[in-house]
Each structure stands twice: as C-alpha cells, then as structure tokens.
Structure 1
Amino acid sequence: MNKYKKLTLSIILDALGFVSIIFPPFDIVWAPASALIMTKLYKGKEGKVAAVVSFVEEALPFLDIIPTFTLMWLYSYVFKRNEETIIEV
C-alpha cells in the first residue's frame, strides 16, 4: 500500500475512534478491532507493539483523543527513516 494511502487510512481510523466520545459502548468493539487493523497495517514487532498500545488507548476512557494510527505512520515513515539515515552516515 502506498504510504500516503496508509496515512489517509490512518487518519480515518483515528477519526473513527472518536465515535466512542459520543457513544462510549463503541469502545467494546473498536478496541480489539483497532488492534487487529494495526497489526495488518504495520508488520513486525513495531506493529505488534502499536496494536497493544492501540488496544489500551481505545479501551481506556478519555484516551481516545490520541491519534495512535497517525502516530504509528509518523514513526514508520518519518522518524524511523531519519533514524536509519543518521545511522548510515
């Protein structure tokens, strides 16, 4: 998947997480679903760690404002790339 399509999807998924602010029982369904989606979008150890963070963030009240999917995209395509560039130099 193109990294910008993944960014768009991440923003949409983060917005979907805001539904629980209006309808709190949505978290019962969304917390495990977001964890599963996170592992599908981001592979490897980082994806698994992000899935756990996403599950906890969505399951606990008042943390829904954290854009977990978008933060993971930033880590994968901005911060991790810069880290690799610094190491190569």
Structure 2
Amino acid sequence: MDNKYRKLIKCVLLDTVGMASLAIPVIGPFLDVVWAPIAASISYKMFGERKGKYTSLITFLEELLPATDVIPSFTIFWFLFDFLGIGKEKSHLEKTPDAGFAKVRQ
C-alpha cells in the first residue's frame, strides 16, 4: 500500500477518535479539552512545519469548539495536501522565471 494511503487511514482514525466524544453525553466536552492539544500536535507533525502551523491551529479550534467534532479535519487536510497536492513546494529551478529557457534540448 502506498504511503499516501496509509496516511489517509491514519487521518480517518484520528478523525474517528475526535468524533468519539460525541458518543459520551456528559464527559465528551471535557475529553475534547484534553484531545484538542494532542490532535493539534499530531496535525503539526503530519503535515509539516509550513502547513502544520495552520493545520494545527484549525484542528485545535475544531476539536475545542462545541458541535464541530463532526468535521473530519485530518481527512480534509489529507485530501487537500496529499491527494490534490495543494501547496507542494516546487524545486528551485521551476521557480525561476527563465526555467523554460534553461532546459537543454538533445
């Protein structure tokens, strides 16, 4: 199995853990207070330093705020960054304005 899809499985499992507090009527909101910083830390590590700054903040708020546990934030981030490739860094050569000119034809 491709590493990209292993990461998807981890994201779905983490979202399931985040949603599990909905099943516990009285204690659930208190579990969210504990889970929010843990989920934010995992999100930061999963999506890297640059994107992780934003994903961890969004994940923290999503887990902490009431009635937002149903949002699968980890899976959404995986879809955006790993599946669609949004925000992928390009090589230095591709960023230069004359990159097409620099290619050598054979």
Q: Which bin holds the TM-score, normalised by the shorter protein?
A: 0.7 to 0.9
TM-score by length of 1: 0.84
Larger relative contact order (CA 8 Å, sep ≥ 6): 1
Give the structure 2 partner of residue 87 of structure 1.
none
User: How many residues in Structure 1 have an aligned counterpart in Structure 2?
Assistant: 87
Point out where structure 2 has 5 or more consecutive residues left out of the alignment: 90-106
Aligned residues: percent identity?
37
Q: For 1:8 and 1:56, how far apart are their aligned partners in 2?
A: 22
Please identify the structure whose Cα radius of gyration is greater: 2
Which structure has the highest helix share of the two? 1
After superposition, residues 8-87 of structure 1 pair within 5 angstroms as 8-23=9-24, 24=28, 25-80=30-85
CA deviation after TM superposition for structure 1 residue 46, in Å:
1.1
TM-score by length of 2: 0.72
Which residue in the other structure is 2:92 paired with?
none
Runs of 4 or more consecutive aligned structure 1 residues displaced over 3 Å after TM superposition: none
Cα root mean square deviation, aligned: 2.5
Shift in Å at residue 61 of structure 1?
Answer: 0.5
CA apart distance, 1:44 = 2.3
CA distances 1:23-48 after superposition (whole Å, capped 9, x unpaired): 32210111000000001111022111
